[in-house]
Structure 1
Amino acid sequence: MAADLSPDPQTARLDRRVTWAVIALVAATVLIGALGPRPAHHAAPAPLSDPAQNPSCAEWGDGCKVCRRIGEEVACSLPGIACTPGPMTCLGSAGEP
């Protein structure tokens, strides 16, 4: 004896309504994102070309690793696994605590 797997008409109508509602919601979200205002980008301070070469910079980093001048030597931390480096900037001048 074979079972009838076709939905009843009322369930099929509800399924179509839900499907179209989801499609309309996705389309509205995409349109709002495409036509909405863009966020203002603030200008970041100009990064130093190479803080390691600047003797007045005691500590510098790129958001992933930090390097520090210790006497005549330089010691750097290891970057994290999922780190995306940014511009290299001076984090502390010589003479600062």
Structure 2
Amino acid sequence: MADLPADTRPDRSRDARFAWIAAGATLATILIANFAPASGPAPLPRPAAVSPAEDPGCREWTDSCRVCTRGADGVHCSTPGFACQREALRCTGR
């Protein structure tokens, strides 16, 4: 097969310009997404939560695995089960 004459070959310069523009737009989007500051107000600091174990008013608390009670002779906790999945501590008795 012989090469086509220069005047009948398709012009690919438009495709090449489009490819460069698309690559530049993609790069600009990635850079803006990574380096732009986050919008919105700054989160408020959370107050320090007091654990039920540190709260003298809480007499019984649990983490869904074990139950702890505060008595006159100290704190006593049950033994957790074999397949226990702990949750956040919560006071169950005052």
| TM norm structure 2 | 0.48
TM-score of the superposed pair, with normalisation by structure 1:
0.47
Structure with bigger gyration radius: 2
Give the structure with the higher percent helix: 1
